[in-house]
Amino acid sequence: MANSSVLGYPRIGAEREWKRAIEAHWTGKLGEEELHRSLREIRLAHLRKLQAKGIDLIPVGDFSYYDHMLDTAAMFGIVPERFGYEGGSVPLSVYYAMARGTHSAAACEMTKWFNTNYHYIVPELGGTNPALTGNRPLRAYLEAKEELGIEGKPVIVGPLTFLKLSKGYEAAETDLWLDRLLPLYVQVLTELSGAGAKWVQIDEPILVTKLDEIDLTRLRRIFGTFSQAVPGLKLMLQTYFDSVEKYEEIARLPVAGIGLDLARGFGRAGNLAALREHGFPADKSLGAGIVNGRGIWRSDLEEGLALIEELKSIVPDDRLIVQTSCSLLHVPVSAARETKLPPELKQALAFADEKLDEVAYLARGGEGGEAARASSAAALEALRQSPARQRLDVRQAVEAMAAKEPKRGAPFAERRKLQAERFGLPLLPTTTIGSFPQSAEVRRARRLWRNGEWPQERYDAYIREQIDHWVALQEEIGLDVLVHGEFERTDMVEFFGEKLDGFAFTQFGWVQSYGSRCVKPPIIYGDVAYREAMTVKETVYAQSRTKRPVKGMLTGPVTILNWSFVRDDLSREQVAQQLAFALRQEVEALERAGIGMIQVDEPAVREGLPLKPAEHAGYLKRAVDAFRQTTCTTADRTQIHTHMCYCEFHDMIESIEAMDADVISIESSRSHGEMLSSFETHAYPLGIGLGVYDIHSPRVPSVEEMASQIERALTVLDPSLFWINPDCGLKTRGQEETVAALRNMAEAARRARERFAKS
Q: Quick one: three-class SS letters along 709-753? A: HHHHHCCCCCHHHEEECCCCCCCCCCHHHHHHHHHHHHHHHHHHH
What is the model's pLDDT at position 128?
96
Q: Where are the beta strands (DSSP E) in 369-426?
A: none
What is the model's pLDDT at position 670?
55
- 337 is known to lie in a ligand binding site: no
On whether both 526 and 605 belong to a single domain, the answer is yes
Domain C-terminal end among 325, 343, 376: 325
End-to-end CA distance of the chain: 78
- 117 is known to lie in a ligand binding site: yes
Element (H, E) at 378: helix 370-384
Distances in Å between the Cα of 642 and the Cα atoms of 191, 432, 444, 498, 688 are 51, 12, 30, 22, 10
| Structural contact between residues 191 and 227, judged by C-beta atoms closer than 8 angstroms | no
On whether both 430 and 287 belong to a single domain, the answer is no
How, if at all, do strands 234-238 and 199-203 pair? parallel
Distances in Å between the Cα of 542 and the Cα atoms of 378, 434, 482, 550, 732 are 50, 13, 9, 7, 21
328-337 exposure pattern, b = at least 16 Cβ within 10 A, e = fewer:
bbbbbbbbee
On whether both 566 and 453 belong to a single domain, the answer is yes
Residue 306 lies in a domain: yes
- 518 is known to lie in a ligand binding site: yes
| Structural contact between residues 113 and 119, judged by C-beta atoms closer than 8 angstroms | yes
Residue 381 lies in a domain: no
- pLDDT tens-digit readout, 512-568: 999 999 999 999 999 999 999 999 999 999 999 999 999 999 999 999 999 999 999
Domain C-terminal end among 277, 296, 325: 325
What CATH number corresponds to the domain at position 438?
Answer: 3.20.20.210
On whether both 286 and 414 belong to a single domain, the answer is no
Note the pTM of the prediction, 2 decimals: 0.90
What is the model's pLDDT at position 651?
73
Determine phi and psi for 427, rounding to 5 degrees. -60, 145
Determine phi and psi for 303, rounding to 5 degrees. -65, -40
On whether both 290 and 408 belong to a single domain, the answer is no
Domain of residue 627, residue span = 392-758
Q: According to DSSP H, which parts of 557-603 are helical?
A: 557-562, 572-592
Cα-Cα-Cα-Cα torsion 328, 329, 331, 332, nearest 10 degrees, comes to: 110
On whether both 676 and 531 belong to a single domain, the answer is yes
Determine phi and psi for 375, rounding to 5 degrees. -65, -45
- 601 is known to lie in a ligand binding site: yes
Residue 237 lies in a domain: yes
- 276 is known to lie in a ligand binding site: no
On whether both 667 and 566 belong to a single domain, the answer is yes
Separation of alpha carbons 535 and 548, rounded Å: 19
- 449 is known to lie in a ligand binding site: no
- 697 is known to lie in a ligand binding site: no
How many domains is the chain built from? Answer: 2
On whether both 424 and 281 belong to a single domain, the answer is no
Separation of alpha carbons 264 and 139, rounded Å: 35
- 728 is known to lie in a ligand binding site: yes
| Structural contact between residues 406 and 632, judged by C-beta atoms closer than 8 angstroms | yes
- 645 is known to lie in a ligand binding site: yes
On whether both 312 and 424 belong to a single domain, the answer is no
Residue 376 lies in a domain: no
- 435 is known to lie in a ligand binding site: yes
Q: Which amino acid is at 547?
A: K
Instruction: Burial-class residue 180 by CB neighbours within 10 Å (0-12, 13-18, 19+).
Output: middle
- 486 is known to lie in a ligand binding site: yes
What is the model's pLDDT at position 509?
96
- 434 is known to lie in a ligand binding site: yes
The contacts of residue 5 (CB under 8 Å, 6+ apart) are 55, 56, 57, 59, 153, 287, 321, 322, 323, 324, 359
- 667 is known to lie in a ligand binding site: yes
Sites in the chain below the pLDDT cut of 50? none
HEC profile of 159-217:
HHHHHHCCECCCHHHHHHHHHHHHHHHHHHHHHHHHCCCCEEEEECHHHHCCCCHHHHH
Element (H, E) at 541: helix 536-544
Residue 387 lies in a domain: no
Residue 338 lies in a domain: no
Domain C-terminal end among 325, 351, 369: 325
| Catalytically annotated residues | 696
Residue 18 lies in a domain: yes
On whether both 118 and 39 belong to a single domain, the answer is yes
On whether both 20 and 113 belong to a single domain, the answer is yes
Residue 631 lies in a domain: yes
Separation of alpha carbons 195 and 154, rounded Å: 12
Separation of alpha carbons 65 and 544, rounded Å: 46
Q: Which amino acid is at 623?
A: A
| Structural contact between residues 232 and 178, judged by C-beta atoms closer than 8 angstroms | no
On whether both 396 and 314 belong to a single domain, the answer is no
